Chains A and B, each alone.
Chain A
Amino acid sequence: MPNLKLMLPELLLFAWAILVIIIGISRRRKNNESLIYITLLGIVISGLLIPIAGYGELFGRTFLVDKYAVFFKIIFLGAAFFAVASSSDLMSKLKSDHGEFFGLMLLSTVGMMFLTSTAELITLYVSLELTTIPLFVLAAYRKDQLASSEAGLKYLILGALSSAILLYGISLIYGLTGTTFLNDNLMRLIQQSIQMLLTTASINPALAIAIIMLVAGLGFKLALVPFHMWAPDVYEGAPTPVTAFLSVASKAAGVAALARIFYAGLTSFHSTDWGPLLAVLAAAAMIVGNITAVLQTNIKRMLAYSSIAHIGYLLIGFVALPLGDSGSINGPASLMFYLFAYMFANMGAFACAIAFARNFDSYQIRDYQGLSEKSTGLAVMLTIFLLSLAGIPPLVGFFGKYYVFLAGWTDYRWLVIIGILTSVIALYYYANVIKQMFFNKEKSTLDKVKLDTPLAITLVLTVIGTIVCGLYPEPVIRFAVEAVAIFPF
């Protein structure tokens, strides 16, 4: 009998998703917030089950729970928690209980949790689809809004296309190695096939095509430049809680899958094949994302482009593999810490945008002017999130950027320099919003912002996370360093 206890958080969340859908169907009462609280309860229970489930392996290595998986599961559950809590306004606009909205969000989270705890390509692919297919529906959820349907269609077409490309890459990996398990065995088989195939060239063409297709397929999910064109449209059109969830959880899931495939399966090709490729993509993401974000007038679109840039910073940590020296902060660990920091700040920034749109029905940055006059609290919170995203100490985003740059400094110094320069551009467009809120008071016509309870919970928790993890980042970092010790660098 397999030890299904390991799968407990996922199984509970899956059951909870079904339960929420049933409750949503069976009640026809008009909008109240109880469904949100029921969903949040499920997420919290699932999080509490993670320590009970423990560590181990199931079904060969098809399902495994290690510290790496647990770290990402906490990020996914956190993002889902904040996204669900900030969807109260969306629910009141929809004018009835929508259990399937929360059900789909939970199912997508379950997919992400499976995605991060597998080292086998079939399971990885199936859970990737379990992650994205509910997100297609969620992006198109505002059936009455044209922009939302358009976002759904764009996301669907590019998501399906990218998974076909990814799948072709996986099929080539399978053909080269004869196995779908990502472990040392796979590496050995690839090395053998290379030695057989290679006498002159330095790169096996089939493996190179496979790696390019894997990067392209996952790059679409991550909105990596040059595969990022769908992201701003989808982020703008989709309902804002879904946008927040997409920009954090779905990216974290893509990073988790990318790291699992490339670290566990293909480490030995780091320096020749995928290291330089991803370094160039990281530089492109930082430059394109930050420069385009300057031009945006819509805050959702601005955050979309800034999230494209953040993927670039993440990838600095991704390509900077540690050499020997274990135990201290290294590239992969800094990447995980960056995601953790990004989760709080980005979810918080989107929650502020939701709070603003709830009262004033606008996502335009110019409408934010003089916000601090009547609602200082919201303005201060949005300032904290934006400064954390920009990387200002002592907020958590500063340590995220600092460790990523530190890890990349030895091998990829040019990349770090691009990162620092583009951070300055980023500070400009974040500070622009802050300037609108604090220094253009005279023209302000804004009333005091009213919040509902779940949204207030989101804002308070994300502010606490941003500040506390910034002042005391050591436990998270230690956990991340222990987590990446499983990979054979």
Chain B
Amino acid sequence: MKKIEAIIKPFKLDELKEALDKIGVKGMTVTDVKGFGRQKGHTEMYRGTEYKIEFRSKIKVEIIIQDEKVQEAMDVIADAVKTGNIGDGKIFVTPVEDVMRIRTKERGEDAL
């Protein structure tokens, strides 16, 4: 099993969820996050004076998925959230040792 963490533009969340639904992803965890990458921050205006926003608002989506579906999921995520502009985000993949469904104590992929 692998964990896929995708940092995406906030307004793309609905499209991402729909796309993952279609390939049978059963659950996800969504968090509001702030950060910067190559896009860096940007300046805003308040009462005629500029100020810097160093950390941009993004959304982090976490899903746990079977090894053989990782490539498909990554493609689906990238296709769903891509705008082609700087700041589209990143996808991280890490191994997951085990999973337990708390209600039934099922383990491993059965628990997904």
A and B physically associate = no
Interface of B with A (CB < 8 Å)? none
Interface of A with B (CB < 8 Å)? none
